[in-house]
């Protein structure tokens, strides 16, 4: 009997640990997902953004983020690396930019564009083990942080786009 009781207690602890770890992993996963309909304007929380015709991929968390008393949204736009030479080096690759929009009522104005992935210029998001994983782009109370790896030595490079001042300010983090 005591062995069975210890086994049940042990199983309960394992179950609680699994639930805790699952919740922690889910909380840290990126909400930035691909948007498949790139042919029209995009509307997020009543705000409409006109999409460039050259887009080959589009990602967003479809949320308005508050920084101070202002609202922002993030789109990650993918464009062909070398549209004029598709069979050359990186011809089938993408250049991806994070576009940050300031939202006033139902109007969105792009305030910053930051390169986040480039086949041609050899830059990747730190999280990009799988295509479409942008979990190394995160929102903070000051703005947005970016975490890259840069070849040839795969150096880690981090920066924060501060949106809590009069003008966006990109600060590199040691």
Q: Is the pLDDT of residue 170 over 80?
A: yes
Q: Which residue has the higher pLDDT, 160 or 128?
A: 160
Pairing type for strands 47-49 and 42-44 reads antiparallel
**Domain total of the chain:** 2
Residue 130's pLDDT is: 62
**Whether residues 38 and 2 fall in one domain:** no
83 and 118 inside one domain: yes
Sequence-separated (6 or more) residues with CB below 8 Å from residue 151? 122
3-state helix, strand, coil in the chain (%, to 5): 15, 45, 40
Residue 17: HSE in the Cβ half-sphere, 13 Å Cα cutoff: 6
Same structural domain, 90 and 155: yes
pLDDT digits (tens, 9 = 90+) for 14-36: 333 333 333 333 333 468 899 88
Verify that 60 and 8 share a domain, yes or no. Answer: no
Residue 138 CA to its chain's centroid (Å): 7
Do both 19 and 37 map to the same domain?
Answer: no
- Average pLDDT of the chain? 80
pLDDT tens for each residue of 142-165 = 999 999 887 777 788 899 999 998
For a pLDDT cut of 70, what percent of the chain falls above it? Answer: 80
């Amino acid at each position: 009997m005591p062995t069975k009781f210890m086994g049940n207690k042990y199983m309960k602890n394992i179950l609680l640990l699994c639930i805790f770890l699952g919740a922690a992993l889910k909380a840290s996963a990126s909400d930035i997902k691909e948007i498949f309909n790139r042919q029209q304007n995009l509307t997020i929380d009543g705000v409409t953004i006109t999409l460039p015709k050259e887009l080959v991929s589009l990602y967003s968390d479809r949320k308005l983020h508050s920084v101070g008393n202002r609202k922002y949204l993030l789109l990650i736009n993918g464009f062909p690396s070398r549209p004029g030479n598709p069979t050359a080096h990186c011809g089938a690759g993408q250049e991806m930019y994070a576009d940050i929009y300031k939202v006033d009522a139902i109007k969105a104005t792009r305030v910053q564009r930051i390169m986040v992935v480039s086949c041609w210029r050899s830059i990747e998001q730190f999280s990009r083990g799988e295509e479409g994983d942008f979990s190394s782009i995160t929102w903070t109370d000051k703005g947005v942080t970016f975490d890259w790896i840069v070849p040839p030595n795969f150096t880690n490079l981090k920066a924060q786009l501060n949106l809590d001042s009069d003008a966006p300010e990109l600060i590199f983090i040691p």
